[in-house]
Amino acid sequence: MKRASTLLTAVTLGLLLTGCQTTSQSVYQDPKQESIVKTTRFQAYDVGKVTDKMIDSMLMSDYPFKPGTRQVVRWAGVKNKTNQHLDTKMITNRIRTQLVRSGRVRLVSDDGENDIRKSIANERKLSRSSAASATTRRQTGLMSASAFKLYGDIQEIASRDSNAKSSAYLVTINLIDVETGELIWADEKEIIKAKTRSTFGS
């Protein structure tokens, strides 16, 4: 009888412990699908909103994105001017990919990608040297000079009080004519996120 009681107690305790355990799981989410905002930080959904707006605006612009012109554009990327540790490569890469896929422009390598540029420079130097065979040796003076420079930045204004905080982000992209210095296209996307502290249980 005592043994049965001990066994029942052990089983009951095991069930209780199992019921108290917390489990977590990871799920895939569509980066373009808006979800409940749990933070005021810049997130993947915000990247999608920004890049979609900018690409649509560029491709609707008559020049230099007009079909058939294929101007040479240097894409310098998006600089982070917020106080957050924000990797802007997602914005930079997504805009670059969409522009290339559009076939409207010819993009040249970015000044910010130092490792890649050094690798290309070394490869170019080798291909023009006597170390390369005569049939594969490359000519000099064939680099594409960019007619336009495309660049952007992201800025943030953050505010908070005892019960809430908010962040306003402004992403701006500009296109400059390299020869004249004229700003020939620009657009911006503003995103405002707010979070209220719960007072439940206070």
pLDDT for 50 equals: 93
For the CA atoms of the chain, what is the radius of gyration? 27
- CB-based contact 154:168 (threshold 8 Å): no
| pLDDT at residue 198 tops 90 | no
pLDDT for 119 equals: 55
Q: How far apart are CA 18 and CA 40, in angstroms?
A: 35
| pLDDT at residue 179 tops 80 | yes
Helix axes of 44-60 and 89-102: crossing angle, nearest 10 degrees:
30
pLDDT for 15 equals: 55
Architecture of domain 38-112+145-196: 3-Layer(aba) Sandwich (3.40)
**Per residue in 115-174, pLDDT tens?**
555 654 555 554 555 555 555 445 554 556 788 999 999 999 988 777 788 889 999 999
DSSP 8-state code for residue 189: E
- For the record, the structure tokens of 4 come out as 């049965």
Please tell me which residue, 52 or 15, carries the higher pLDDT value: 52
The predicted model gives 21-39 an average pLDDT of: 57
Report the 3 state secondary structure along the chain. Answer: CHHHHHHHHHHHHHHHHHHHCCCCCCCCCCCCCCCCCCCCCCCHHHHHHHHHHHHHHHHHCCCCCCCCCCCEEEEEEEEECCCCCCCCHHHHHHHHHHHHHHCCCEEECCCCCHHHHHHHHHHHHHHCCCCCCCCCCCCCCCCCCCCEEEEEEEEEEEEECCCEEEEEEEEEEEEEECCCCCEEEEEEEEEEEEEECCCCCC
How many Å from the N-terminal Cα to the C-terminal Cα in the chain?
Answer: 49
**Per residue in 111-120, pLDDT tens?**
555 555 565 4
pLDDT for 62 equals: 76
pLDDT for 202 equals: 42
| pLDDT at residue 12 tops 70 | no
The dihedrals phi and psi of 165, each to the nearest 5 degrees, come to: -145, 155
Please tell me which residue, 61 or 78, carries the higher pLDDT value: 78
Among 32-36, 37-41, 101-105, the range scoring the smallest mean pLDDT is 32-36
The predicted model gives 176-182 an average pLDDT of: 92
Closest CA to 176 of 35, 75, 36: 75
Q: What is the mean pLDDT of the chain?
A: 75
| pLDDT at residue 201 tops 50 | no
pLDDT for 19 equals: 52
SS3 5: helix
